[in-house]
Each structure stands twice: as structure tokens, then as C-alpha cells.
Amino acid sequence: MEDLLLEIKDLNIEFHDHDVPERVVNGLNMKLKRGEILGIVGESGSGKSMTAMAIAGLLRRHDMKIGGEINFEGTEILHASRTEIRGFQGDDIGIIFQEPMTSLNPVKRIGWQVEESLRIHRPEMSKAQRYALAIDSLKSVELEEPEKTYKKYPHELSGGMRQRVMIASAMICEPKLLIADEPTTALDVTIQLQIVKLLQRLNREKNTSILFISHDLSLVKQLCAKILVMHDGRVVEAGDTLEIFTHPKEAYTKELIGAIPKVEKMKQL
């Protein structure tokens, strides 16, 4: 299996910060190929964000119990040392979050933040090289006047622009995997669509695999070839998007599809 990028086997995540342990992810299995876009759908609390955090190496391990394995290009990263995981973070695995308003450091310039992964993972690069790459990256996420944006602070940008900056900084090292954890939820509908189109284009041009996590089925349907439906920490159903939308097997999936507003459905047809 040459083109297998990510494989998760029997992932379990259990919280221990309350009296009763709370299992948020329960026996999750999944595979992601190179260049593929996989959607994970489910309502809030279904464990999809926790899965994303586990892959990105962002779980706070001390107050939870973690089981299973996550293989990234053949390396197990779920139980790897912090140092080893840091080598992947920002370099091979990029992540963008739900809240573009708060996910950028308010007191640092945009350029500094976009270049940060380069400073960490490509220390040999000169300042000029980094600058050129940052401008390229800002251009590729369709930000107008990238040179001006480079010098701005986060509060001077709109939510949509900030999410583009987040994508630019996640993509600057050309990671093999981009995790997008509800990247459009906090944005206006028109901007949602733009971001989805942008992700699609980046996927085509750089052959980056994307893990797109959302509760918005209509967006997932547009972007992803394959989807995975989660409910209460378990995978309910997985497979080709078209297949699942036309012939949902599980009652929960049918319910989810039924919940899409009619107008949206008609637009899709």
C-alpha cells in the first residue's frame, strides 16, 4: 500500500478529569490515502474534534487515557515522544481550527506567524527565502496585497481573512496532511464556500491530503470523496460520499441527511 498516508487502528480516548471516566472516542478505525479528502461528520460531542487533536498531537495526555495506534507514513505517532511528534507538527501535519478570531496570536504580525513553522523546521533558510515563501503562501490562499497583509496584525483582518492566514501558515511547509477542524463554522455562508473551494484547489495543486471535519453535511458533500459518520465516539458509517448520500445504511445517517434544509438539497441536485 504505497499511497496510504494515515492509518488509525482502534483509537480510544477517555477523559479522567471527572469522577466517572468519559469515553469520547471508542474503537475508531480509518485510513487516508495520499491526495485524498476525507470528511468526518457528526454532531458536536461525537468525538470528531478529539480524533483530529489526537492526529495533530495536541491532546493533553496527563488527564486522559489513550489507546490504539495512529500510523503516519508508517510511524506510530500516538504514543511517540513529544520531541518526535514536534518533528511532524507544522512540517508534515498542518491543522486549522474553528475559531479564526482567536487562533492567531494578537500581538504578533501576520508574516511572523505564517513563517513560524519555517523557522522551526527549516532553520537553514535565510530571512529573504522565508519572506518569499510567506508571500507565496499568502498569495496561494488568495489574500489580496500579500505584502501589506504580511505586516498587519490579526485584529486588522476579517474572520475569513484570518482563516486564510491560518491556512497559509499551516500550508507553508507543504505538509502531507492538512487537518481542518470545523474551519468554516464561525464564518459567513458566502465565505464558507470560498474556503471550501480554496481547500479543494490546494488539494489539487499540492496533492495534500485533507481531513475535513464538519457538522455541515452539504459542505462535506461538496468537498470530500469519502466520508466517515461519527456518533457518540463511534464510527457509524464510512464509505464513498455519493454512496452514503444516496443509500444511507444506518438510521442515524438517514437522520443526519434528512436534517439538511430542503433548499440546500435542491441546490445540490
Partner 1 sequence: MKYVGKKLVTMLITLLCISFLVYFAFDIIPGDAALAALGTDSTPERLAALREQLGLNRPFLERYFEWLINFVRGDFGVSYKYKMPVADMISSKLPITVIMALMSFAMMVVISLPMGVYTAMNSGRRVDRLIMVVNQVMMSVPHFFMGIIITYVFGLVFRLFTPGGFVSYETNFGKFISYLIFPCIAIALPKIAMSVKLLRGSCIEEAQKDYVRTAYSKGNNTRTVLYKHVLRNAMIPVITLWGMTLADMLVGSIVIEQVFNIPGIGRILLTSISYRDYPVVEAVIVLIAAVVIVTNFCVDIIYQIADPRISVGENG
Q: Which is nearer to partner 1, 79 or 108 (CB)?
A: 108
Q: Among residues 9, 31, 34, 86, which is the contact residue for partner 1, using CB under 8 A?
A: 86
Touching partner 1, residues 154-213 (CB under 8 A): 155-156, 166, 169-170
Interaction of residue 73 with partner 1, rule CB under 8 A = no
Tally of residues, the chain? 269
Q: Are 202 and 171 in contact (CB under 8 A)?
A: yes
Interaction of residue 107 with partner 1, rule CB under 8 A = yes
Interaction of residue 116 with partner 1, rule CB under 8 A = yes
27-32 contacts at long range (C-beta below 8 A, 24 or more positions apart): 27/68, 27/234, 28/68, 28/230, 28/233, 28/234, 28/235, 29/235, 30/6, 30/228, 30/235, 30/238, 31/4, 31/6, 31/7, 32/4, 32/5, 32/6, 32/7, 32/177, 32/209, 32/211
Interaction of residue 131 with partner 1, rule CB under 8 A = no
Alpha-helical segments (H) within the chain: 48-56, 82-88, 110-121, 127-140, 146-150, 159-171, 189-206, 217-223, 241-246, 251-258, 262-268
The distance of closest approach from Cβ of residue 91 to partner 1 in the complex, given in angstroms and rounded to an integer, is: 6
Interaction of residue 121 with partner 1, rule CB under 8 A = yes
Interaction of residue 95 with partner 1, rule CB under 8 A = yes
* Binding mask of the shown chain, residues 32 to 71, with x at each position contacting partner 1 by CB under 8 A: ------------------------x-x-------------
Q: Are 106 and 113 in contact (CB under 8 A)?
A: no
Distance CA 4, CA 72 (A): 9
Q: Which is nearer to partner 1, 15 or 153 (CB)?
A: 153
The distance of closest approach from Cβ of residue 109 to partner 1 in the complex, given in angstroms and rounded to an integer, is: 8
Q: Which is nearer to partner 1, 87 or 239 (CB)?
A: 87
The distance of closest approach from Cβ of residue 9 to partner 1 in the complex, given in angstroms and rounded to an integer, is: 23
Which residues are at the interface with partner 1 (CB under 8 A)?
56, 58, 82, 86-91, 94-95, 97, 99, 102-108, 116-117, 120-121, 153, 155-156, 166, 169-170
